[in-house]
Amino acid sequence: MVPSLTSITSRLRLKQLRLLIALEDRGSLHKAAQHISISQSGATKALHEVESLFGMPLFERQPKGLVANAMGRCVIRHARLIHNDVEHLREDINGLLLGHCGRLSVGAVVDAMPRLTEALPGLLQAHPRLSLDVQEQHHATLLDWLEEGRLDVVICGSGGLKNPQAFECVELSAEPLTVVAHPAHRLAGAARLHLAELHEERWIAWSKGLPLRQALDRAFLDAELPTPRYALEASSAFATALLLQQDPGLLAVIPAHMARFFEDGGQLIRLPVVLPVSTEPSVLLTRVGARRSLSASWLINRLSQDGPAPALASNQ
């Protein structure tokens, strides 16, 4: 029988929650006890107290160590949320003492980062005392961190939501994709180009399985062209930009916001070629039941009103 809320709140301790988190992360009582600075006998006693409270074991002993069972994973997920809420409490208090006004943690996948960063100056202007943390990570990591309470807002692709009921979702518009090159590329001065003219060029492609790679492949297939032989593959926008800087003979495809960022800085140019594909639609996610701060609401409203970056005039 599940214990009452009164029983849980009167018997559960923050140190016990820290132990459960450390056990999942480290896989042994000895390492977990070391991590939270208690004795191994103290860790054994704390684990026994938690399992007695819930009336069931939370871990199974396997060859690789202690592994949380289904009930244990459920308790640990909430333990992480509680621990992160306490951490946010400390940071909010510290922010008030230092004259700040709240804290916001935002995460985005790499191709959404230019779109996010364009909105941040306005956010900081509207909330000048805000303490802002921005994280760039892979899709799965962002979702885990959002569910654990380590992030307040996440921008990522719309696919692969394994636990959609845990999130509140705002759909964002898809972005056109743009072909970019070094300003010294031989096609830099062209007034208009067709995809067939670029088939034999040397390309940097996004790594296999990534949505931008699939979109580029689809663009050639839709044009009834075989996919080109990709000279290089990369999974990082920064690495792609550096490779284009080092070799003026290469081409790449990136989202329009990202292209505009590099073009404004003079590092790359956009070639005047129509690509009849776009990024997968992005979504802006928050955790169900989480209190939405004024700064989070401002950012969500700003991004949900933001349309795709303008295409090149010669693409029309």
pLDDT of res. 25: 92
CA distance 165 to 77: 15
Distance CA 76, CA 196 (A): 54
User: What pLDDT is attached to residue 312?
Assistant: 44
Decide if pLDDT at 194 tops 50: yes
- Bridge partners (DSSP) listed for residue 234: 206
Fold (CATH) for 177-270: D-Maltodextrin-Binding Protein; domain 2 (3.40.190)
Residue for token pair 């296999």? 208
Q: Which two tokens stand for residue 66?
A: 């202690």
Fold observed for domain 101-174+282-310: D-Maltodextrin-Binding Protein; domain 2 (3.40.190)
Confidence at residue 279, expressed as pLDDT on a 0 to 100 scale: 74
Q: What is the mean pLDDT of residues 173-191?
A: 90
- For the chain, the farthest-separated pair of C-alpha atoms sits apart, in whole angstroms, at 75
What pLDDT is stored for residue 306 in this prediction? 64
Tens-place pLDDT, residues 49-103? 999 999 999 999 888 888 999 999 999 988 988 888 787 777 777 766 655 567 8
Confidence of residue 160 (pLDDT cuts 50, 70, 90): low
> pLDDT at residue 164 above 80?
no
**CB of 78 closer than 8 Å to CB of 68:** no
pLDDT, tens only, 263-315: 988 999 999 998 887 777 788 999 988 878 888 899 999 998 865 444 443 33
Phi, psi of 251 (to 5 degrees): -125, 155
Q: Where are the domains of the chain?
A: 5-78, 101-174+282-310, 177-270
Helical spans, DSSP H, in the chain: 5-11, 14-26, 29-35, 40-54, 70-98, 113-126, 139-148, 211-222, 237-246, 256-264, 294-304
User: What is the pLDDT averaged over residues 219-239?
Assistant: 87
Average pLDDT over residues 42-51: 93
What would the mean pLDDT of 161-189 be, rounded to a whole number? 87
Q: Taking residues 125-153, what's their average pLDDT?
A: 88
What pLDDT score does 21 carry? Answer: 93
Task: Find out whether 3 and 39 touch, Cβ atoms under 8 Å.
Answer: no
The whole model's pTM is what? Answer: 0.61
pLDDT tens by residue, 114-135: 789 889 999 999 888 888 999 9
Q: What is the CA radius of gyration of the chain?
A: 24
The answer to whether 5-78 and 177-270 have equal CATH topology is no
Which is more confident, 161 or 242?
A: 242
In CATH terms, 5-78 corresponds, of 1.10.10.10, 1.20.1050.40, 1.10.260.40, 3.40.50.720, to 1.10.10.10
pLDDT at 159 over 80: no
pLDDT at 111: 74
User: What's the Cα-to-Cα distance from 36 to each of 33, 40, 42, 46, 57, rounded to whole Å?
Assistant: 5, 10, 11, 12, 21
Across the chain, mean pLDDT equals: 86
